[in-house]
Amino acid sequence: MSERNTWPADADGDVLRILEDRDFDFDKTHNIEFYIEFKNWPLTDKQQQEITENLPGASFLDSDQESIADGDAPGYVLFMTKNIVTHEFVGQEQTRLSRLVEPLDGVCNSWAVCSPCS
């Protein structure tokens, strides 16, 4: 039985099953976006500098009013990396990013990838 048929019954496994249903190519390298939310937003200049030093290329994005009304955070850091999409990788990367931003009251608990992108 392939790993694809044994993904855990968790949020990441659910996303991977959706991707599989969409004929996502798990054998190719993709841009994977990781979303990092913080207890307080906007971040201070010092916090932004620390994140920029540790996550080159990270973007600081404010949510629009509609998204905030729907329960989204007022803003977040977007960090993108290229990799093959696996349950192990997305889990490890979310853990790594969460540990990195924990002193800033941040957490990475979501990710996205185009399925498929043209």
Report pLDDT for 6. Answer: 87
Report pLDDT for 64. Answer: 92
Check pLDDT > 60 for residue 118. no
Supply the angle between the helices 11-21 and 87-101 in degrees, to the nearest 10: 140
Q: Residue 36 and residue 73: Cα distance in Å, rounded?
A: 10
Check pLDDT > 80 for residue 101. yes
Which tens digits make up the pLDDT trace of 29-85?
999 999 999 999 999 999 999 999 999 999 999 999 998 899 888 999 999 999 999
CA angle at residue 38 from 13 to 33, to 5 degrees?
40
Confidence category of residue 1, pLDDT binned at 50, 70, 90: very low
Q: How many residues does the chain have?
A: 118
